[in-house]
Amino acid sequence: MEFNDIPSFLEYYKKIRQRTNRLIAVIPPQYMDWSYKPGKFTIADQIRHIAAIERNMFAETIQGNPCIYNGCGKELADGYDQVISYFNEKHTESLKIFSTLTPHDLKQKCLTPAGTPITTWKWLRAMTEHEIHHRAQVYLYLNILDISTPPMFGLSSEEIISKSSTN
């Protein structure tokens, strides 16, 4: 999917974020610091990571600045309410930056942290893929904890099967 203008990208990204927010809304506060294995991201780390990468890597590099991502630990936000606030605050800051992009800007190259040039609209698409990747990890974490999660597109697999016609 190519994005030629920022309003169409922002509308698409809004839907991505709505699905992420629906998932985050079912996380019990007592599980924010849970991980399946010591040394791996906790649920809170996943949320902080999405926020910090969006703002400190993607939003910075599309402005021609170097990446300033420095991790996703508790020093950024600790506790359920603080993690959610951080997540929302970084998203708001990022949207403000993204909203200034012109069609010309979207076709220009920016540099990834590895120093690889990439077309800005493709870099923004990579950002959505990154969020989806980490959202899937949170889905898995919650499923391991036997916490009911919302269907991504409104229906569960079982509901789709029950509504499907068999030929």
- CATH 1.20.120.450 assigned to domain 6-152? The reply is yes
With 0.85 as the threshold, say if the pTM is over it. yes
DSSP 111: E
Predicted confidence at residue 4, as pLDDT, reads 80
Q: Is the pLDDT of residue 115 over 60?
A: yes
Element (DSSP H or E) covering residue 118? strand 117-119
- Domain positions in the chain: 6-152
Q: Mean pLDDT, the chain, as a whole number?
A: 94
User: What is the reported pLDDT for 49?
Assistant: 98
64 has a pLDDT exceeding 60: yes
Per-residue pLDDT reduced to its tens digit, 68-85: 999 999 999 999 999 999
Asked if 87 and 48 touch (Cβ cutoff 8 Å), the reply is yes
Q: 153 or 137, which is more confident? A: 137
